[in-house]
A = this chain, B = another copy of it.
Amino acid sequence: MARRYDPERRQRIIDAAIRVVGEKGLAGLSHRSAAAEADVPLGSTTYHFKSLDELMVAALRQASEGFAKAVAAHGALDGSGGDLAADLARVLGEWLGGDRTGVELEYELYLAALRRPALRPVAAEWADDLAARLAHRTDPVTARALVALTDGICLQVLLTGVPYDEGYAREMLARVIP
């Protein structure tokens, strides 16, 4: 048989699951679809992830961590001075500008977390991470409000099809910063 004793089998399944969610949505993720995408037999996914929730948690956690690292690597939010609202608006623009797979995946996580308690810590973790990052440049209370407004703006863009308006976002974010 091909590819037996694959030391990175589990990781490859997670990567495949992320691709599946990105393409077909969370509802399209199953043991079978992940297995097909990863090119492994069905039994392999059920072995590494006893329940489907387990696979979902692993995939979504890795996806959101990946995003967090991308933002961190970008570094736009790390500077201690300057215009925080403008920086955040620019990061949002870049996030929403290119491939939206990551964005949609993030909010799909939100949606799923509403009904699946197992995912709630993952969603909360992501929001807390961004809030903590913002708290370096403002107070924690304001940071949380910025996260909330950010979420709302992204949802509006994703749902209405209206293109992202960086100037508008910057102004509204600036209003929240005291």
How many chain copies does the complex carry?
2
**Is A178's beta carbon under 8 Å from chain B?**
yes
**Is A74's beta carbon under 8 Å from chain B?**
no
Residue among A108, A110, A148, A158 with the highest chain B CB neighbour number at 10 A: A148
Please count how many residues in chain A sit with their CB below 8 Å of the partner chain's CB atoms.
37
- Which of B26, B148, B155, B156 is the one whose CB lies under 8 Å from A153? B148
Q: What is the bound-complex CA distance between A34 and B123, given in angstroms?
A: 30
- Which of B112, B115, B148, B168 is the one whose CB lies under 8 Å from A152? B148
A155 contacts which chain B residues (CB < 8 A)? 110-111, 148, 151
**Is A87's beta carbon under 8 Å from chain B?**
no
**Is A73's beta carbon under 8 Å from chain B?**
no
Query: Is the Cβ of B172 less than 8 Å from the Cβ of A145?
Result: yes
- Which of B26, B115, B120, B145 is the one whose CB lies under 8 Å from A149? B145
Query: Is the Cβ of A111 less than 8 Å from the Cβ of B120?
Result: no
Given contacts A104-B114, A104-B115, A145-B175, list 5 more A-B pairs with CB under 8 A.
A111-B114, A120-B160, A141-B168, A147-B156, A151-B155
CB<8 Å pairs between A and B, sample of 14: A104-B114, A104-B115, A107-B111, A110-B111, A124-B159, A124-B161, A127-B160, A145-B153, A148-B153, A148-B172, A151-B155, A172-B176, A175-B178, A176-B176
Tell me the A residues contacting B by CB distance below 8 Å.
25-27, 104, 107-108, 110-115, 120, 123-124, 127, 141, 144-145, 147-153, 155-156, 158-161, 168, 172, 175-176, 178
